[in-house]
């Protein structure tokens, strides 16, 4: 027992000695934990990144949309492709679930604020159909390919589009903006003066951003000006048709030849002047747009038309402090383009119209409304003739109370081809028009809509929206057209038609 006690005491002494040695190695005082601090320099929601002088803000939204009688999501009219054919093989509704995430960082420097901004969407959208050629459908190849993993990806099942989309990613420093963000040509409200639809024409909108190199000067008193070089490829080209390739089947889809853009030679050049005041906002924008064609034929020895420069201008205004109620406002813009059609025919709307309907004429299968939008058109051996557009759009929002508001919105857009361009088109089109018919590719689009929003709690909004779109075409008479999809080869009456679309949205901002 005495030997056991001696052993225990000896072990304890060793442990105490070891503990004393380790304690001597520890710092006298532990380093204080640096907690996240609120950054009040740039408004609410910003925090200092621990250990830095950079402030960060996280934001985004979760949104659910459904559109009825549309060609896609968010109110796009059912006026082209399978939707425009109004047949049994097209979807009569589209649904989408989307999560948006944005990250905003800012740091004070001797040159002013250094800012970076990132914004991206994760979406799941109803798939689209493609005809099998045997009276049925399959999901289209694009829908089957799906998002991240293609057809084998169980997250979309090969039947609908789960996708990632980068909207904005830019740096701002010393007046420069470098990267992807909203076009400097756009009004602050873009294509949404009071609507949720992505398909309101009459002006420009690229809410998903465009790559650019811009400089903004602040002149004080709410006055600023910007010059910008912007990538034209994704959102600033409609069609550049070689009308020598115009066919009856192409005409039935709203196309006036073979699309024949070459590679880019110049970014779009944009200038903007803006005045922001308590009463609202006024902005004037201009843009220059290079049109660069490919070759007349398959080989470079076939030759090509010379480049042409198109241009566009826009005046936009917001009027606040209306006598109708607090928070009410009116947004309005007027736009004109010559060879730069996307600045009036906004970027999220397909530049062709082929809307089918009924006809009361004997011996005629159905009716058809045709419209085609281009930057320019040419024929083999001839130069480019530019296409002219003008339009306006407006929206008025009235707040009934803190939870409810309603809006009225509308637009008018006119597309016109000069006499030479009409000659290029009609030289072929008249060959499949019946006697007494008229060939004129010019057309107008009228849109009018309304919506109501309910916000039962802060940052949660439910919206219902109804929009009517009328296509006023200048063709008349009857055309003998070949089979297109499930539409048979038959006689079709050319006349004006309209379509009604209905959209619902639930959105929670955070």
The distance in angstroms from the start CA to the end CA of the chain is 72
More confident residue, 20 or 46: 46
Beta strands in 362-435 (DSSP E): 366-372, 376-378, 385-386, 388-399, 404-416
pLDDT for res 144: 47
Q: What is the DSSP string of 59-85?
A: EEEEEEEEEESBSSSTT-BS-SHHHHH
CA distances (Å), 368 to each of 349, 472, 490, 492, 495, in order?
19, 12, 12, 6, 6
- The average pLDDT across 437-458 equals 97
pLDDT for res 135: 55
For 78-115, the pLDDT digits (tens) are 888 888 988 887 888 888 899 999 999 999 999 999 99
pTM score:
0.87
Residue 158 confidence (pLDDT) above 80: no
- The average pLDDT across 55-69 equals 95
Return all residues near 153 (Cβ < 8 A) that are at least 6 apart: 146, 147, 162
Q: How far apart are CA 413 and CA 508, in angstroms?
A: 33
pLDDT for res 2: 41
Q: What is the overall mean pLDDT for the chain?
A: 88
pLDDT for res 473: 94
Please give the angle made by the CA atoms of 483, 484 and 486, to the nearest 5 degrees.
90
Q: Describe the chain by its helix, strand, coil percentages, rounded to 5.
A: 15, 50, 40
Share of the chain above pLDDT 90, in %: 75
Strand 490-494 to 366-372 pairing: parallel
Q: Which helix (H) or strand (E) holds 9?
A: helix 2-25
Q: Are 36 and 48 in contact (CB under 8 A)?
A: yes
Q: How far apart are CA 146 and CA 158, in angstroms?
A: 6
Lowest model confidence (mean pLDDT) among 89-93, 149-153, 190-194, 506-510: 149-153
Phi/psi of residue 277, each to 5°?
A: -135, 175
**Bridge-partner residues for 1, per DSSP?**
none
Share of the chain above pLDDT 70, in %: 85
CA distances (Å), 33 to each of 13, 30, 36, 40, 50, in order?
35, 9, 10, 21, 10
pLDDT for res 7: 42
Strand 55-68 to 497-509 pairing: antiparallel
pLDDT for res 127: 66
Give the burial class of 194: count Cβ atoms within 10 A of its Cβ; 0-12 exposed, 13-18 middle, 19 or more buried.
buried
pLDDT for res 274: 98
Q: Are 427 and 420 in contact (CB under 8 A)?
A: no
Residue with tokens 């299968």: 365
Which architecture, in CATH terms, is 32-509? Beta Barrel (2.40)
Return all residues near 431 (Cβ < 8 A) that are at least 6 apart: none
* Tokens, residue 35: 């907690």
Q: Are 355 and 79 in contact (CB under 8 A)?
A: yes
Domain layout of the chain by residue ranges = 32-509
Secondary structure of residue 422 in the 3-state scheme: helix
- The average pLDDT across 66-78 equals 81
Q: Are 345 and 413 in contact (CB under 8 A)?
A: yes
* Tokens, residue 413: 């857009």
Residue 290 confidence (pLDDT) above 60: yes
User: Which letter does DSSP use for residue 33 in this model?
Assistant: P
- The average pLDDT across 492-509 equals 96
Q: Are 102 and 119 in contact (CB under 8 A)?
A: yes
Model confidence band, residue 191 (pLDDT cutoffs 50, 70, 90): very high
Model confidence band, residue 408 (pLDDT cutoffs 50, 70, 90): very high
More confident residue, 470 or 158: 470
Strand 176-181 to 55-68 pairing: unpaired
């Amino acid at each position: 027992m005495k030997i056991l006690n001696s052993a225990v005491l000896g072990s304890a002494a060793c442990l105490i000695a070891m503990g004393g040695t380790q304690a001597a190695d520890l710092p006298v005082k532990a380093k204080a934990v640096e907690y996240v601090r609120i950054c009040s320099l740039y408004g609410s929601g910003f925090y200092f990144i621990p250990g830095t002088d950079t402030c960060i803000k996280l934001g985004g939204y979760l949104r659910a949309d459904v559109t009825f009688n549309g060609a896609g999501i968010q109110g796009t009219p059912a006026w082209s492709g399978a939707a425009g054919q109004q047949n049994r093989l097209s979807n009569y509704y589209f649904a989408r679930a989307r999560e948006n995430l944005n990250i905003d960082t800012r740091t004070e420097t001797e040159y002013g604020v250094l800012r970076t901004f990132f914004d991206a969407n994760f979406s799941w959208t109803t798939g689209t159909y493609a005809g099998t050629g045997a009276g049925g459908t399959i999901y289209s190849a694009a829908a089957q390919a799906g998002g991240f993993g293609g057809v084998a990806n169980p997250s979309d099942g090969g039947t609908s589009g789960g996708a990632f989309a980068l909207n904005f990613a830019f740096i701002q420093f010393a007046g420069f903006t470098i990267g992807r963000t909203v076009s400097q040509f756009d009004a602050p409200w873009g294509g949404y003066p009071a609507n949720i639809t992505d398909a309101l024409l009459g002006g420009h909108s690229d809410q998903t951003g465009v790559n650019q190199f811009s400089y903004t000067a602040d002149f004080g008193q709410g006055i600023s000006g910007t010059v910008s070089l912007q990538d034209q490829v994704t959102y600033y080209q409609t069609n550049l048709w070689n009308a020598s390739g115009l066919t009856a089947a192409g005409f039935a889809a709203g196309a006036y030849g073979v699309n024949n853009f070459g590679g880019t030679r110049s970014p779009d050049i944009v200038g903007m002047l803006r005045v922001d005041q308590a009463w609202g906002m006024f902005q004037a924008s201009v843009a220059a747009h290079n049109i660069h064609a490919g070759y007349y034929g398959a080989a470079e020895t076939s030759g090509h038309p010379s480049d042409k420069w198109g241009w566009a201008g826009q005046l936009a205004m917001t009027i606040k402090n209306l006598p109708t109620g607090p928070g009410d406002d009116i947004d309005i813009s007027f736009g004109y383009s010559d060879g730069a059609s996307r600045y009036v025919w906004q970027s999220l709307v397909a530049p062709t119209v082929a809307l089918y309907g009924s006809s009361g004429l004997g011996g005629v299968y159905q009716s058809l409304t045709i419209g085609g939008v281009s930057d320019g058109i040419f024929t083999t051996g001839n130069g480019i003739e530019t296409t002219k557009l003008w339009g306006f759009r407006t929206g008025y929002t009235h707040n009934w109370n803190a939870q409810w508001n309603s809006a009225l919105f509308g637009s008018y857009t006119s597309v016109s081809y000069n006499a030479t361009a009409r000659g290029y088109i009609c030289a072929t089109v008249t060959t499949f028009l019946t006697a007494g018919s008229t060939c004129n590719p010019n057309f107008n689009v009228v849109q009018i809509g309304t919506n109501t929003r309910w916000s039962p709690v802060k940052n949660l909004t439910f919206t219902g929206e109804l929009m009517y779109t009328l296509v006023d075409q200048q063709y008349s008479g009857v055309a003998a057209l070949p089979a297109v999809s499930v539409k048979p080869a038959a006689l079709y009456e050319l006349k004006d038609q309209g379509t009604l679309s209905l959209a619902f949205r639930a959105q929670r901002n955070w």
